[in-house]
Amino acid sequence: MRRHRTARGTLFSLLLVGLAAASMTAPSASGREHGVPLLVFPLIEKTELWDNYGDPRPNGRHEGIDMPVPRRAVLVAVESGRVEYASSSRGGCMLYLNGRSGTTYLYIHLNNDLTQGNDNRGRCALVAYAVRDGAAVTAGEPIGFNGDSGDQDGNPGLHFEVHPNAGPPVNPFGHLRRARRPLFAAKPGSEFSLGLRGKLVGGGLGSVTLEVVRVRQYPGGRWLTIDARTVELAVPAGAAVASSLPALSGETVRVFKSPVAVAAFTTKAKTSLDALVGTPGALQLRRLSAIP
C-alpha cells in the first residue's frame, strides 16, 4: 500500500514527466483530451459538480475536484485498468486507478468507518475498497466506498484527480462533465435488474422514455437518489404497462405534455457497459406502473 501521497496529490518525482499532457488541448472526435479517454463518472449517487480545481488550500493549490456525496457511496472505475491501494495522513484511505490509456486517477478520502457513524476505526484495506489490491477492473465496476478519511473528517466527499501519462495533474472538470453517468455498478457479465423512479415523458415505437431521479439495483441494493437524467427503455412483447398510463403503442414517438410519476422495473440481464450507463435500448422494461 502506498503511503506517501497526500490529498493534494503532489508527486515531486513526476513534476517533470508529461508536461505536454498538462497543457490544454481541444478534445478530438473520439472525446479525448490530454490523451484521457471518455470516462465513466466515478459516482452513482447525486452530487454537486463544480470547478474547484486550483483553488487555494492551506497545504497548497487544489489538484483535483471535490464532490460531496454520502458516506459509503459506491465509487466506480472511470476507465478499465488496474487498482492500487494507498494511504496518507491527509489523504486518508486512497486508491489509484492506473488506466489502460496510461492515465492515472486518484480517489481520495475513502471510507474509514466501521459503523454507520463517523468512528474512524476502520482499516483502509478492510473498509475502503471493493476489490483487492492490484486487481484488474473494467470501466463502471465498483472499486471502493466514499468516506471522510484524512483531513476531511466529518465532511464526506470524493476528491478525484486525473494524471495523464502518470504525470502532473490536469483539471478533471471537463472530463467529469462529459463523462457517461452510470445508473448502477457491477462486474461485467453479472446478472442484474433495476428499479427506476421518476416521470414518464414519452414513448412509442417499442420504447419508453423516463426522467429518472431514483434507482435501485437488484439483487440487494437500496434506492439511491441520482442526478435527474432521461433513460430510454426498450418495451418487449409481454411487458406489463398499467392501463392508467398513456398508450405507448403507435408508429411515432410521442412526448407527453403532462409527465406522469412512475415506477419502472427492468428485465433480468447480464451487465454490460451499455447497460451500466443506460444507453438507449440497452435496458428492457418488465413492468411500468403509476405512483402517487
Residue carrying C-alpha cell 467529469: 176
C-alpha cell read off for 205: 415505437
| Half-sphere CA count of 50, side-chain side, radius 13 A | 4
Amino acid in the structure at residue 262: V
Write the secondary structure of the chain as one string of H (helix), E (strand) and C (coil).
CECCCCCCCCCHHHCCCCHHHHCCCCCCCCCCECCECCCECCECCCCCCCCCCCCEECCEECCCEEEECCCCCEEECCCCEEEEEEEECCCEEEEEEEECCCCEEEEEEECCCCCCCCCCCCCHHHHCECCCCCCEECCCCEEEEECCCHHHCCCCEEEEEEEHHHCCCECCHHHHHHCECCCCCCCCCCEEEEEEEEEEEEEECCEEEEEEEEEEEECCCCCEEEEEEEEEEECCCCCEECCCCCCCCCCCCEEEEEEEEEEEEECCEECCHHHHCCCCCCCEEEEEEECC
- According to the model, what pLDDT value does residue 60 have? 67
Residues of the chain short of pLDDT 70, as ranges, are 1-33, 60, 247-254
Q: What is the rounded distance in angstroms from the CA atom of residue 214 to the CA atom of residue 155? A: 24
Q: What is the rounded distance in angstroms from the CA atom of residue 101 to the CA atom of residue 144? A: 21
- According to the model, what pLDDT value does residue 1 have? 59
Q: What is the rounded distance in angstroms from the CA atom of residue 210 to the CA atom of residue 193? A: 16
C-alpha cell read off for 135: 486487481
pTM of the model as a whole: 0.86
CATH superfamily of 12-178: Glucose Permease (Domain IIA) (2.70.70.10)
Q: What is the rounded distance in angstroms from the CA atom of residue 49 to the CA atom of residue 67? A: 6
Closest by CA position to 93, among listed 77, 110, 106, 76: 110
C-alpha cell read off for 30: 473520439
Contact 218, 169 (CB under 8 A): no
**Region for 286 from its dihedrals, namely left if φ exceeds 0, alpha if ψ lies in -120 to 50, beta otherwise:** alpha
Rg (CA), the chain: 20
- Cis check for the bond before 68: say yes or no (omega within 30 of 0): no
